[in-house]
């Protein structure tokens, strides 16, 4: 049975994909953007772990997770940054990242494509980009992506938030993922847990009034999306 939070996440992905259906240069086999620079929540990690268990690929994932590069991880979540902005604090989102290739890339295609996190789903360019040619992304698309990230973080509040590989490693100690105890050095999960932070509730959207007008249809579609006869808005508000 799929847990409620994962059903909500899949609903959010579905509504974003409908909204974002437009011409982009991205196509299968184009993967210069697939680095280890991917952030996500524990809900997105749970969805990936369940997919891996169902596919019987736990050994494969354990090997991929050991390819994690040592990079600087973000200390502030998107909602944490938004909360500080709303309080008028002088904050910077901070720098992080890695140009190391994502370990889930196989022959330039994503091996977990069906369950890839939102950061991967929303990264798209209207012109073919490469490590030397930056992606071209419309402002309204960036605003919408940030707003959806904030909703997903709210969904996963109080749980892990951070680099995709760190979150996946941290989730290896759940009872259903116990097999990783034999497959991974214990120190790897401990190091990963030291580098992630906690997801926070939505303090308000990081959108200017004119951006909100463009993004509103997407937000309305997400909030009205039904999961087991309840709207996503009601589920997010615990009603």
Site for ligand SF4, rule CB under 6 A: 25-26, 30, 32-34, 38, 102, 104-105, 110, 112, 116, 120, 123-125, 128-129, 135
DSSP string for 50-79:
HHHHHHT-HHHHHHHHTT----B--SS-HH
Using the structure block, give the residue that is written with the tokens 């369950």.
115
> What is the smallest separation between the CB atom of 5 and ligand SF4, expressed in angstroms?
20
CA distance 60 to 112: 11
Q: Which is nearer to ligand SF4, 13 or 227 (CB)?
A: 13
**Cβ count near 185 (within 10 Å):** 10
Q: Which is nearer to ligand SF4, 85 or 105 (CB)?
A: 105
> What is the smallest separation between the CB atom of 122 and ligand SF4, expressed in angstroms?
10
φ/ψ of 7, rounded to 5, equals -65, -40
Q: Which is nearer to ligand SF4, 32 or 183 (CB)?
A: 32
Burial class (CB in 10 A: 0-12, 13-18, 19+), 47: buried
Q: Which is nearer to ligand SF4, 167 or 232 (CB)?
A: 167
- CA 220: distance to chain centroid? 21
> What is the smallest separation between the CB atom of 129 and ligand SF4, expressed in angstroms?
4
> What is the smallest separation between the CB atom of 239 and ligand SF4, expressed in angstroms?
33
Q: Which is nearer to ligand SF4, 37 or 78 (CB)?
A: 37
Cβ pair 227, 4 in contact under 8 A: yes
CA distance 217 to 82: 21
Long-range contacts of 169-178 (CB under 8 A, 24+ apart): 169/65, 169/68, 169/193, 170/42, 170/45, 170/196, 171/42, 171/45, 171/46, 171/49, 172/65, 174/49, 176/49, 176/53, 177/49, 177/53
> What is the smallest separation between the CB atom of 228 and ligand SF4, expressed in angstroms?
28
> What is the smallest separation between the CB atom of 40 and ligand SF4, expressed in angstroms?
9
Q: Which is nearer to ligand SF4, 34 or 184 (CB)?
A: 34
């Amino acid at each position: 049975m799929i847990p409620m939070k994962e059903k909500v996440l899949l609903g959010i992905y579905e509504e974003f994909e409908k909204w974002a259906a437009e011409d982009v240069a991205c196509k299968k086999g184009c993967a210069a953007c697939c680095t280890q620079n991917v952030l996500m929540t524990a809900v997105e990690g749970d969805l990936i772990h369940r997919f891996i268990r169902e596919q019987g690929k736990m050994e494969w994932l354990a090997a991929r997770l050991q390819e994690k590069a040592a990079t600087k991880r973000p200390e502030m979540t998107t909602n944490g940054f938004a909360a500080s902005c709303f309080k008028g604090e002088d904050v910077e989102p901070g720098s992080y990242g890695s140009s190391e290739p994502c370990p889930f890339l196989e022959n330039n295609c994503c091996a977990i494509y069906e369950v890839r996190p939102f950061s991967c789903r929303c990264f798209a360019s209207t012109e073919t980009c490469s490590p030397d040619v930056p992606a071209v992304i419309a402002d309204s698309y960036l605003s919408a992506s940030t707003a959806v990230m904030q909703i997903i973080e709210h969904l996963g509040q109080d749980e892990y938030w951070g680099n995709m590989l760190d979150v996946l490693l941290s989730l290896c100690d759940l009872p259903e993922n116990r097999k990783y105890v034999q497959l991974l050095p214990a120190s790897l999960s401990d190091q990963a847990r030291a580098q992630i932070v906690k997801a926070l509730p939505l303090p308000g959207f990081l959108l200017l009034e004119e951006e909100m007008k463009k993004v509103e249809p997407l937000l309305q579609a997400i909030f009205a999306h039904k999961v087991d006869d309840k709207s996503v808005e009601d589920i997010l508000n615990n009603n």
